[in-house]
Each structure stands twice: as C-alpha cells, then as structure tokens.
Amino acid sequence: MNSAAFQSGSVVRRGGGRPGRRAVSGAGPVLVTGAASGIGRHFALTYARRGVPVAALDIDAEGLAGLPGHPCLHAFPCDVSDATVLDRTVQEAEAVIGTPNRVVHSAGIARVGRLLTQPLADIERLTRVNYLGSVQVARATVPWMAGAGGGGLIIVASIAGWVPMTSVGAYSASKAAVVAMAEVLARECAGSGVRVVCVCPPAVETPLLTRMQRDHPDVVSDAPGILPEEVLRAAERGLVKGRTLVFPGRGTTMLWRARRLAPLQVTRLLEAVLLKRTSAGRAAGGAPGSALGDASDRGRAAS
C-alpha cells in the first residue's frame, strides 16, 4: 500500500475496529527506526521482550548486528532518507512480521554549528534525515496501518524544536518542522484509526549524547539526561490518551508552555543561563555546560 490510500486530504481506513483501538493495544507487530542505538534501541528491545514481533531499522548495519539476539527481533538495514530504499524495506519487514500496528520513528541526526558558518551540506543533511525522513516514514507506514484497521505512529522529535538555541539552529529548525508535520498528520489521520504522537524530550541518556558532551562541551550540557524508558512511557501514555504532543522529563511541559506564552523571554533566559554556566565552568577549571543539551536521540540514522 502507498500514498494512494490517502484521498481528499485524509487517510482512508479499511477493515474493522473502532478508531484508536488498534493504536493503543500494543499487541501487534512494531516497526522501529533508529533501532541500533539509544531511544530506538530501547523501544525495539522492550517490545521484543514483551513478545511482540519487531522490525528494527537503522542505517547502521553493524549496530543492528550487535543487538541482543531475540526471536521476536528482526533487523533491516535501511536509510530513512532514501524513500525508495525505505519503501522496499517496509515491504520486506511487513512480509516478515506482518502489518505493524505501531511504528516508532526515532531515526535522526544532530549537527552542531552556527547558522552563518555551518556547512550547507550539514544543514541539508539535517533537513533530509530529520524532516523528510519523518515524512517518508509516515508515507511508507501509515497507509499500511490504516488499511489494516488502525495503529499508532510515534515520532521522536525534541524540545529543541520548541526552544531554539544558538549553535544548534539548523537542528532545532529540522525538529520544529517535524513537530509541525506531526500535528498536521494527526489531523489528516482523523477517522482512519491511526493515532499520531510526537514526543519532545529534553536530553536523553544515549551514546550519542555522551559523544556530543565530549565533542562539544561548550554547547551540550554535561548534566545527565532522562532515561529512554521515560520517553517510552510518555509515548505510550500519549497514545492511550489521544494526545498529539507529549513532553517527557521533569519541567519539560512547563518549559514548552512558557515558550509559547513568552518566546523571546524564555529564549533569552536560557541563553543567559548558558553564558552563566559556561563562565562558571571556565572559572572553576571544568568543562563548560549548557542550559539545554542534546534534546533527542538521533538513533544513529546517518553518520
């Protein structure tokens, strides 16, 4: 099934089942992108250990090969930024695990740099993987779920999509595009049986966060992030409650609300805290930190 299943701006649902029932059951097959590391890895292993068939997708074939062996876990090397490869891989996965009733899109990348000097190739890659990759995953999987009676699409975005910071401007912009896309998609899927949840976490404890803290101590805070399990719990609660946006982590929802009410003030406050912490770190002879660290897991979707 492909985008032809979309008619008149909405998804056409085929098959029985009350809209949303299949989305929240979590009992059927699951497809996870960015499954070789971080948040995507945690989702894939958690569902497999629940006895659910899982298709684990990632561009990192070596990382997929390093996943713990489990009879419910099936690895499929795939670059989500390549629509042709993604469509073919989703069809191959469907033939192995069946039509997924849940899709977790965690694949993405991060690049640090100031907008006027960051290589244009980096900015283009961020857009192609983070935003267009999200669009392509939705186009490749939502019609399948709708045709089977429904399902749930979990998209991992970032609080950085709501609270932009210097030195990660292109990344923030790509995640803001993902958030907007998810909100529109949720409306377009109304009545299809497919629920869309966009998860916007703060820093998450992943290997990527550790690398960014090491490589960019002046940008990425050395404070510990939340655990991937918190992201999973928030996403599943969002599916059950029918929420499109969820904000795991203490204070994340408050930060989102404050940003909506006073965007410039909140951004300036965070920048001031960043400068204060950086100065304090240098004065103490330690590594400088930031007020807002790596805001989501990239799932090692691309190098």
Residues designated catalytic:
171
Q: Match 């609270």 to its residue by tokens.
A: 163
